[in-house]
Copies of this chain bind each other. A is one copy, B any other.
Amino acid sequence: MTETTPMQPDSPQNPHGGQRRRRGFSRRALLIGGAGAGVAAAAAGGVAVGHAAASRDIGPESQVVAFRGERQSGIITAAQDRLHFASFDVITDSRSDLIAMLKKWTDAAERMTLGEETVPDGATGLGDYTPPADTGEALGLHASRLTLTIGFGPGLFGPSASAPDRGDRFGIADRKPAALTDLPAFTAERIEPARSFGDICIQACADDPQVAVHAIRNLARIGTGVVAVRWSQLGFGRTSSTTKSQDTPRNMFGFKDGTANLRAEDTELLDRWVWVGKDDNPTAAQWMTGGTYLVARRIRMDIEPWDRANLLEQEQIVGRLKASGAPLGQKDEFDEPDFNITSFGAPMIPRTAHVRLAHPDNLGGVRILRRGYNFTDGSDGFGHLDAGLFFIAFNRDPGTQFVPMQQVLSRQDAMTEYLIPNGSSLFAVPPGLGDGEWWGQRLFE
């Protein structure tokens, strides 16, 4: 340590002359003053757009997404380009410590979604002899449409897959929704506990990955002693469109998938299939009405064998043309698939095709909102890329939506041959926050 050991405040060696010189370097200040550009800074709580010239990362990604509202952001928000998703274990039994952390998290999260530091002047303005309250790597970056979405896992309420012997540490067992049950095992998955489960999740989405990584890192840091990161996952590219203005991206199989996704404009369908109704789970009505359930699945794709399959096989597995994304037998991506078209007696969209099996017509009308991301986590040591889909879906009742859908897909979908699901988690996502409300307040009060 030697010369890097902190000096005393009144030491003549202090090269800064106190903390004054650092003031004015907050993210927001840089946003306003940076590069001599005129920036309309985000008004607290609202939706504002920053504009500037002659600096990087200027454009749509400078937008601010409202943190508070009827729903949490990050669900029907137009899917951002990048993801950092973290699952935390709560490592304390202290209800008051957990609540205190959730309050701190809420403050920091709201500030970060505005493009600000976790606390005012947190990165560099709190004095020389204090660890900075903000880690600083987002200084100078825009809000980048950051959304932070919180969810609570089964283990917060008592025994769960990740901690079967756990008790009701926080006195909330009687508020656990019946729908918040560990997902069952599905065919052909290889679930790794170190990539699964958790007591609390935070989904950070942004158009700048450094902004999403900064947010998760700083929440993890604020939670020191109360939570520990159980697992986390970066997603480099969105695979879903959640508004009608977004195009459908391609997944790592090279296909457009999720064309028939629920979208923000489908308000009636969202009420039916995504948002929890007040009578859904009586024990949890107080804190989950208007919320939803988040399913997270890390699905590694066997991309090298996939790449050796011929085009027709690929298209028959998916049930769409690779080029246009049109359902087999149709011309345009958004044409409705017709499962009754046959050609010489055989269905044009095979019975094992993904688009057929995942279609609401073949699932009793059931729908979900998909919001996943492509990932690549280096290589597996055997010459293959460790790549795939980090599947995220929101649904009102996993037991009657995601679970039966996945039971059908895992048993019948021809695509299963090329998929290795190795992470699986479920979280209850409360509704959005009112003014002054903190994350989890309705659950704990």
Interface of A with B (CB < 8 Å)? Answer: 1-7, 12-16, 21-22, 25, 35, 55-56, 59, 81-82, 84, 86, 89, 123-132, 134-140, 194, 208-210, 213, 216-217, 220-221, 224, 228-234, 236-237, 246-247, 249-255, 303-304, 307-317, 321-324, 328-329, 343-344, 346-348, 350-353, 374, 376-379, 381, 383-385, 387, 414, 417
Contacts and interface: CB of A to CB of B under 8 A. Distances in A.
Given A221-B307, A229-B385, A234-B377, 15 more contacts: A3-B316, A4-B353, A6-B310, A6-B312, A22-B321, A25-B323, A135-B307, A137-B251, A209-B237, A210-B249, A213-B374, A217-B387, A228-B383, A230-B383, A234-B236
Contact of A378 (B234, B323, B353): B234
A307 to B, nearest CB: 5
Nearest to A246: B56
A82 B235 CA distance: 13
Contact of A316 (B4, B22, B59): B4
B303 A217 contact: yes
B303 A135 contact: yes
Nearest to A228: B383
Contacts of A236: 82, 209-210, 213, 234, 236
A311 B14 CA distance: 12
Contacts of A353: 3-4
Contacts of A217: 303, 385, 387
B252 A414 contact: no
Contact of A22 (B128, B252, B317, B323): B323
Contact of A343 (B13, B237, B251, B378): B13
A16 B312 contact: yes
A312 B7 contact: yes
Given A22-B321, A127-B311, A384-B229, A250 B139 contact: yes
A344 B12 contact: yes
A386 B379 CA distance: 15
Contacts of A304: 221, 224
Interface of A is mostly: loop
A247 B3 contact: no
A321 B21 contact: yes
B311 A130 contact: yes
Contacts of A84: 376
A384 B25 CA distance: 28
This chain's copy number in the assembly = 2
Contacts of A346: 3, 13
B136 A254 contact: yes
Nearest to A375: B234
A311 B220 contact: no
Given A350-B4, A352-B4, A314 B132 contact: yes
Given A56-B247, A220-B385, A15 B329 contact: yes
Contacts of A376: 84, 213, 232, 234
A282 B82 CA distance: 47
Contacts of A417: 1
Contact of A137 (B135, B250, B323): B250
Contact of A128 (B237, B311, B377): B311
23 contacts: A2-B414, A4-B353, A13-B344, A15-B328, A25-B323, A55-B247, A124-B321, A124-B322, A128-B311, A128-B312, A129-B310, A129-B312, A131-B311, A135-B307, A136-B254, A137-B251, A137-B252, A208-B237, A210-B237, A229-B379, A232-B376, A234-B236, A377-B377
A9 to B, nearest CB: 9
Contact of A322 (B136, B138, B233, B316): B136
A29 to B, nearest CB: 10
Contacts of A313: 4-6
A246 B134 CA distance: 24
Contacts of A378: 231-234, 377
Contacts of A253: 136-137
A240 to B, nearest CB: 13
A242 to B, nearest CB: 13
Sort A-B residue pairs by CB-CB distance and give the 5 closest, nearest first.
Answer: A136-B254, A228-B383, A25-B323, A3-B350, A128-B312
A312 B21 CA distance: 13
